Amino acid sequence: MRIDGSCHCGEVTFEGDADPDKVWVCHCTDCQSGTGSAFRINIPVPGPSFRLLSGTPAIYVKHTAESGTPRAQAFCPRCGSPIYSTTPGDGPKEAYTVRVGLLKQRGELAPKKQNWFRSARSWVTGLGSLPKNEKQG
Ligand SMILES: [Zn+2]
Ligand SMILES: [Zn+2]
């Protein structure tokens, strides 16, 4: 399906093609600190289909905690929204791992699996039992 999205402030916008069956939640500690949250939601976008429409993401190369593999983490230089990760360096990319929370289509992109569950916060599966406020509680 066609996906498109933007960072929180709107400076960085992009589009691409992605398979909704490949959405995953990542509970790894890099994703926890990289989002400031408990987990990240990702969708792979093949490199040839990914296109930046506006803005230039800032890049930070992080050696992932477990494997040491370097990953280029792209985020908006103005608002800091995480946008995607990919292989570091110049040239065409095989794929981009795009952050689902930025996408206009996120309502249709439910996760299909959870990775690095051994690092998951212990309460993450119990959210359904917490009190729910329709707005700020
Ligand atoms: Zn922004
Ligand atoms: Zn992760």
What DSSP string describes 41-102? EEEEEEGGG-EEEE---EEEEEE-TTT--EEEEEE-TTT--EEEEE-SSSS--SEEEEEGGG
Alpha carbon of 42 to ligand 2 centroid (Å): 9
> Would you state the pLDDT for residue 2?
98
Interval between CA 74 and ligand 1 midpoint (Å): 11
Cα 2 to middle of ligand 2, angstroms: 24
- Taking Cα atoms as reference points, which of 123, 102, 111, 105 lies closest to residue 38? 123
Strand 24-26, strand 113-115: pairing:
parallel
Percent of the chain with pLDDT over 90: 96
* Whether the predicted pLDDT of 65 surpasses 80: no
The pLDDT of residue 67 is: 84
